Structure 1
Amino acid sequence: MRLRHADGSTVHLSYCTNVHAAEDLPGIRGQLSGVAARIRRLLGAGRLGLGLWLSQRATADLTARPEELAALRERLTALGLEVVTLNGFPYRGFQDEVVKYRVYTPDWADAERLRHTLALAEILAALLPDDVSEGTISTLPLAWRTGWTSEKAAAVTANLDAAARGLRALASRTGKVIRLGFEPEPGCIVETTSQARALLGDVDHDHLGLCLDACHMAVGFEEPGVGAAGGLPVVKLQASCALVAPPGAQRALAAFDEPRFLHQTRSATGYADDLGEALAGALPADESWRVHFHVPLHDAPPPPLTTSAPYLRRLLETLLGGERPLTRHVEVETYTWHVLPGAPADIARGIAAELDWMRGQLTALGLKET
């Protein structure tokens, strides 16, 4: 969906398709004509934005077969769908039975991450609607923190320089500017926006910036105010909510301790890589916990648990409530629908409800749907 900001610029609202398991082109075509088209109809929207996730396999196929890429673009248009942003964080197998730490590989010290990301940029430039000249790709925050060495740091620097050069060349050749957003996340080399400022302050900010994930920021106890981006360009906001447990009520989180995804957990004074570790005693029970478990934006878990939805609202006001938008791409990214306790059978209806909630938040800030 597209919304008009008070300054006249367009803000794009999409949902991220990494919630779907499809990793090959037939599966992706099926999810577009099935669930994505149904979500658009449920919303009554003439056009629905997708934050498309393409696995390594699908990316390789689209790169090798230009006719498939052209057919994908045509299919999107025919279904009333559009793509201005990609989720380039997961490489493959994001809805496997166990993902956990594998989602951080290959990292930005690996030449394969560079190659894959530049391939995604080529694909996105071809998929952008004719009236859109800028696309964005979110990516991992360099690497998971363990095993970090000076050699890896040097390799990351070289690969980021190469990424910027590749994106500049792509813009010169196609007229489409593709911007890469590094997504701070607890437990990674870049956990917070302040760390991003320290590690990414000297990169090419015309093409490299931040993807702010509201769930990650809430878990990191970051302030959602005017300094939220740490002075770096925000190429994309991922609209997401963390799970919150008040002091003494953490046992209610046990239902969310599941084997597929990593659920980093923080309190005011402690941190655990996963929720199971926190429940085993790694965090103090007399403090509130925030859990990296993306829960639906529009709904709350059973009491006493809550979500960080109020944090997301404040972040939206910071980024989009001013005289001009500080980002123009907003992606709803609740990829955990299938592992929610009592997961609903109708995922499409849930995603549509999230997008409708987000549409309401944006219009309350003065944006108007176009």
Structure 2
Amino acid sequence: MKTPFGLLTYCSNIHPGEDWKHHFSVLQSSIPEIKNSVSKDAPMGIGLRLANQASLDLSETTNFEAFQNWLSANDCYVFTMNGFPYGGFHDVVVKDQVHAPDWTTNDRVQYTIRMFKLLAKLLPADMQEGGISTSPLSYRFWWKIESKNPLETLHHATTLATQKMLLVLDELIAIKEATGKVLHLDIEPEPDGILENSTEFITWYEDYLRPIAIQYFAQKGISTEETLAILHTHIQLCYDVCHFAVSYEKPKVVVEKLAKANIAVGKIQISSAIKVNFTNDAETKLKAIAQYDEASYLHQVIARKADGTFEKYQDLNLAIEDYQTGKHEEWRVHFHVPLFIEQYGELSSTQSDIVDTLAIHKQKPFTNHLEIETYTWGVLPPEVQVPLNESIAREVTWVKGLL
């Protein structure tokens, strides 16, 4: 829906369905109820998540036209999409496979191009901008810092992934020339991705993306200045508030760094992580956080010590196993929890990072797209679960209040 500070929606990755028939049926049963609660008298945007199979299904003319007709009949539209999880995302063990296939593969390239072709047709006639969020290249632990085989290294993966991404960029340029629509690929740093935080993202953008793109487009007769403008328009950052909070990054600092580097933000994913303060009642809090150790998703932990240094864990169970009294003052846990709750009994959330990020955005807007992303309702402890559609509506209402 339109707000004074951009288009606001929620991401449909909370809804199951890896094929289009299943996913569409869930959207049909959920969205009208949610819209009636949060945008009864105005059009409502949808942040559409399509798995690979669903993207293939929706590319079929009959399915696409039926979806367009449904959107029109229900006063809804699509302006942003989630192209991060390629395969199964519900009722399966996802863990590190959320990155698979990664950006070193042709499968990821073809899937993303297919998604952009769909988005170009789904964007309303009066909207010229759309974006798709995606994986931060790959999962870093699939690669080695050094290896006798250079094809196994993190450097090789980063270079190859960047080169593959330029094939999508070619498609975005062609779409703009043919339709006038400006579509951008929004890369989403997250814990244990090759790009984990703002520093790594900016370093990649400056040391890999720009030089590789300049060389690539020079062969097509495109100047360095034109190439940099193309990159600024079409390769942007997905600012996931949860992910930056887990890395203890301050929103104001991140936004200023991106502006200084002349990197655009494609969308803000409004999300909240778990925070554990171990300076008091530590044993009670350890038992509380253990309830969130579930088998579906990776829940990386970044622990802060008293001296200000950090220790990282690939998953919550590893942090729990390594727990020692007094070792850490605080944990930030990559677990997307409901936005409107600040305290979870003995635990707290990084809700204040959302408040700070949106306050900065209100003062000086730095993107047109705002997308709520809480996908873990089904794996939350029972005491914090409420009906899904009601929960989504509460999140949208809470964010609208901040805006």
Would you say same fold, with TM above 0.5? yes
Aligned residues: 354
Counterpart in the other structure of 1:312: 354
The aligned runs of 1:188-199 (5 Å cut-off) are: 188-199=193-204
SS in 2 for 1:270: strand
Counterpart in the other structure of 1:214: 241
SS in 2 for 1:32: helix
Distance (Å, rounded) in 2 between the aligned partners of 1:96 and 1:103 = 13
Aligned-residue offset at 1:285: 4.6
The aligned runs of 1:347-366 (5 Å cut-off) are: 347-362=388-403
Give TM-score scaled by structure 2 length. Answer: 0.84
SS in 2 for 1:292: strand
CA deviations on 1:185-230 (whole Å, 9 max, x unpaired) are 0111100111111112326121001001000000001111054353
Which structure carries more helix by proportion?
A: 2
Distance (Å, rounded) in 2 between the aligned partners of 1:286 and 1:263 = 17
Q: Residues 54 and 307 (structure 1 numbering): CA distance in 2 closer, same or farther, change over 3 Å?
A: same
Query: Letter of the aligned partner of 2:85 in structure 1?
Result: P
CA deviations on 1:18-41 (whole Å, 9 max, x unpaired) are 011112222232122211111111
Contact 1:37 1:81 in 2 (8 A): no
CA deviations on 1:221-264 (whole Å, 9 max, x unpaired) are 11110543533210011000001111122331011100011001
Distance (Å, rounded) in 2 between the aligned partners of 1:251 and 1:195 = 33
SS in 1 for 2:339: coil
The aligned runs of 1:1-370 (5 Å cut-off) are: 1-5=1-5, 11-45=6-40, 46-63=42-59, 65-148=60-143, 149=153, 150-201=155-206, 202=210, 204-228=231-255, 230=258, 231=261, 232-247=263-278, 248=282, 249-268=285-304, 269-281=310-322, 285-322=327-364, 325-342=365-382, 344=385, 346-362=387-403
Distance (Å, rounded) in 1 between the aligned partners of 2:323 and 2:96 = 19
Distance (Å, rounded) in 2 between the aligned partners of 1:18 and 1:110 = 23
Distance (Å, rounded) in 2 between the aligned partners of 1:282 and 1:233 = 39
Q: Residues 68 and 290 (structure 1 numbering): CA distance in 2 closer, same or farther, change over 3 Å?
A: same
Query: Letter of the aligned partner of 1:199 in structure 2?
Result: W
SS in 2 for 1:206: helix
CA deviations on 1:308-338 (whole Å, 9 max, x unpaired) are 010111111223322xx10110100000011
Counterpart in the other structure of 1:365: none
Distance (Å, rounded) in 1 between the aligned partners of 2:26 and 2:199 = 38
Counterpart in the other structure of 1:8: none
SS in 2 for 1:258: coil
Contact 2:246 2:334 in 1 (8 A): yes
Q: Residues 285 and 347 (structure 1 numbering): CA distance in 2 closer, same or farther, change over 3 Å?
A: farther
Distance (Å, rounded) in 2 between the aligned partners of 1:339 and 1:301 = 18
5+ long unaligned stretches in structure 2: 144-152, 214-230, 305-309
Aligned-residue offset at 1:345: 5.1
5+ long unaligned stretches in structure 1: 6-10, 363-370
Counterpart in the other structure of 2:228: none
Aligned-residue offset at 1:79: 1.3
Contact 1:251 1:279 in 2 (8 A): no
Distance (Å, rounded) in 2 between the aligned partners of 1:286 and 1:130 = 53
Q: Residues 67 and 176 (structure 1 numbering): CA distance in 2 closer, same or farther, change over 3 Å?
A: farther
Contact 2:270 2:370 in 1 (8 A): yes
Distance (Å, rounded) in 2 between the aligned partners of 1:129 and 1:2 = 13
Distance (Å, rounded) in 1 between the aligned partners of 2:142 and 2:95 = 16
The share of aligned pairs that are identical, in percent, is 36
Distance (Å, rounded) in 2 between the aligned partners of 1:80 and 1:222 = 38
Distance (Å, rounded) in 1 between the aligned partners of 2:24 and 2:254 = 40
Q: Kindly name which structure, 1 or 2, has the bigger radius of gyration based on alpha carbons.
A: 2
Distance (Å, rounded) in 2 between the aligned partners of 1:156 and 1:280 = 34
Distance (Å, rounded) in 2 between the aligned partners of 1:113 and 1:276 = 30
Query: Letter of the aligned partner of 1:302 in structure 2?
Result: Y
Counterpart in the other structure of 2:219: none
Distance (Å, rounded) in 1 between the aligned partners of 2:50 and 2:106 = 18
Contact 1:108 1:143 in 2 (8 A): yes
Distance (Å, rounded) in 1 between the aligned partners of 2:23 and 2:74 = 13
Distance (Å, rounded) in 1 between the aligned partners of 2:319 and 2:28 = 41
SS in 2 for 1:187: coil
Distance (Å, rounded) in 1 between the aligned partners of 2:16 and 2:368 = 27
Q: Which moved more, 1:297-306 or 1:118-127?
A: 297-306
Aligned-residue offset at 1:97: 2.6
- Divergent runs of 4+, >6 A: none
Distance (Å, rounded) in 2 between the aligned partners of 1:96 and 1:155 = 32
Distance (Å, rounded) in 2 between the aligned partners of 1:31 and 1:177 = 29
Contact 2:20 2:55 in 1 (8 A): no
Q: Which moved more, 1:185-194 or 1:229-238?
A: 229-238
With a CA cutoff of 8 Å and minimum separation of 6, indicate the structure with the bigger relative contact order.
Answer: 1
